[in-house]
Structure 1
Amino acid sequence: MSGLPDGIERREFDGHERLSTRGEPVYGEPTDGEWRCWDAGRSKLGAMLETGMDVDLSGGESVLYLGAASGTTVSHVADFAGPTYAIEFAPRPVRDLIGVAEDRSNLFPLLKDARKPETYAHIVEADLDLLVQDVATRGQAAVAVNNAQFLADEGQLCLAVKARSEDVTADPETVFEEVREEVAAAYEIVDSRRLEPFHDDHLGIVARKR
């Protein structure tokens, strides 16, 4: 990654330089004035940035975020991005997500299932710059491939793969290789690496839509 985009800075929290974005706090994270610490231990995308993956961001991107949960990571994304569509299928986290969106006019929570993009295709705009996926379900590669329709040509995918969600008994490296092969049907993989020490048995993938 060649530098950080507008809206993300490294600032000192608790004696350590850490990623931060400017916005209203969401999950009790440390703050420094208007800046809020982006905890990579609670964010797969934050871990991808902290481990130096080849994520290409400039700020202001249009985003589809799959697996938004209560808004921990997508709130940071909305702090530096443009229009951000946040997909979450569980009603309870969506209630929290709506609260996060009250402070972010560019964040649009949607109670939808990321495995069924046809249910939100009439809402989410086309030709988006960035697809971020953190969906803990079997078939994570298929979700990424099926949602490629929303990306512009050469739009970027940042995918966090949880091995145990695919097969709790399989060797994670075997799972990761299978996911990479399936993702390559729709994307050119730019970078992939494990997300330790922040997240055990997780793989980060950065790719471009073919």
Structure 2
Amino acid sequence: MSDEPLPAGVERRTIGGRERLATRGEPVYGEPTDGEWRAWDPSRSKLGAMIDLGMDVGLEGGERTLYLGAAAGTTVGHVADFAGPTYAVEFAPRPMRELLGVAADRDRLFPLLKDARRPETYAHVVESDLDLLVQDVATRGQAAVAVRNARFLGDDGRLLLAIKARSEDVTADPEAVFSDVRSRLSDAYRILEDRRLEPHHDDHLGIVATPR
């Protein structure tokens, strides 16, 4: 847990007898609450871990956002609590059904059943010049996905990327994987900060970057 200032729309609140990250919104999946505030568990959210560890994610509230790898909506639900229009891309139909339930209480959250590796299939829906690209896609070629989707970010936009080493190569040393990812990102992004996400997530790297 870091003492760094939190992004706008995120607070540390005592919920269930201990201090937790929280956003103001409708609870999902039975998470603990404090009035209008719902707990944000960093052990279930890579972005939550980045914030809890004090990375400078640069969120000020109201960001127009593209979220890749939305799954059942745990993290993107928190993002939509404080961001602006949030496009949530998920490839698998089963978690998409759950994501639709999260979106039902959030009029700024727009689920898209699409493949993040093929941004051309949703370019007609997602606006350009976005403020924020959040990516948590557990597949080989995570850097390539981020590069392909850079087209949606404005010049001052920001990439918040979680890299899972085992999704790239289960046999490789994680640090070697992370070094390769940094290199592959370099043509499209300037990395501002990166950090391992332990103790919340083993063999994961959080990256904050901006388009070149």
Root-mean-square deviation (CA), in Å? Answer: 1.1
SS in 1 for 2:28: coil
Which residue in the other structure is 2:87 paired with?
85
Deviates more, 1:9-18 or 1:46-55: 9-18
DSSP-derived class of the 1:79 partner: helix
Give the residue type in structure 2 aligned to 1:51.
L
TM-score (normalised: structure 1): 0.98
Paired AA for residue 155 in structure 1: G
C-alpha displacement of 1:17: 1.8
- What's the counterpart of residue 203 of structure 2? 201
Which AA in structure 1 matches 2:172? A
Choose the corresponding residue for 1:152, options 151, 154, 162.
154
Q: How many angstroms does 1:123 deviate by?
A: 0.3
Correspondence 1:137 to 2:139: yes
- Paired with 2:6 and 2:52, the residues of 1 have a C-alpha distance of 11
What is the CA-CA distance between 1:184 and the residue it aligns to?
A: 1.4
In structure 2, distance between residues paired with 1:170 and 1:122: 38
- 2:166 maps to which of 161, 164, 177: 164
Task: Look up the match of 1:45.
Answer: 47
Provide the rounded CA distance (Å) in 2 between the counterparts of 1:113 and 1:82.
Answer: 22
Alpha-carbon displacement from aligned partner over 1:155-182 (angstroms, at most 9, x marks no partner): 1000000000000000000000000111
Residue 118 of structure 1 is aligned with which of 115, 120, 131? Answer: 120
* Aligned-partner SS, 1:157: strand
Q: 1:147 is paired with a residue of what secondary structure?
A: helix
Percent identity over the alignment is: 74
Name the CA distance, whole Å, in 2 between partners of 1:149 and 1:136: 21
- 2:8 and 2:192 map into 1 onto residues whose CA distance is 22
Cα distance, 1:14 vs structure 2: 3.0
Offset at residue 145 of structure 1 (A): 0.4
What one-letter code is carried by the residue in structure 1 that aligns with 2:150? A
Deviation at 1:154?
2.4
Equivalent pairs counted in the alignment come to: 210
Find the residue that maps to 1:168 and give its secondary structure. Answer: coil
Structure 2: unaligned runs, 5 residues or longer: none
Query: What is the CA–CA distance in structure 2 between the aligned matches of 1:14 and 1:197, rounded to whole Å?
Result: 21
Runs ≥4 in structure 1, deviation > 3 angstroms?
Answer: none
SS at match of 2:56: coil
User: How much has 1:7 moved relative to structure 2?
Assistant: 1.8
Separation in structure 2 between the aligned mates of residue 168 and residue 4 of structure 1, nearest angstrom: 34
- Work out which of the residue numbers 64, 67, 70 in structure 2 matches 1:68: 70
Q: Could you tell me how far 1:111 is from its partner in structure 2?
A: 0.1
Contact kept in structure 1, 2:4 and 2:54, CA below 8 Å: no
CA–CA separation in structure 2 for the residues paired with 1:154 and 1:59? 15
State the partner residue of 2:186.
Answer: 184
1:138 & 1:163 partners in 2: Cα distance? 9
1:2 Cα offset (Å): 6.2
**Cα separation, 2, equivalents of 1:2 and 1:152:** 26
Deviates more, 1:170-179 or 1:13-22: 13-22
Distance in structure 2 (CA, Å) of the matches to 1:52 and 1:27:
26
For residue 191 of structure 1, give the secondary structure of its aligned residue in structure 2: strand
Would you say the 8 A contact 1:21–1:36 is kept in 2? yes
1:32 to 30, 34, 42: 34
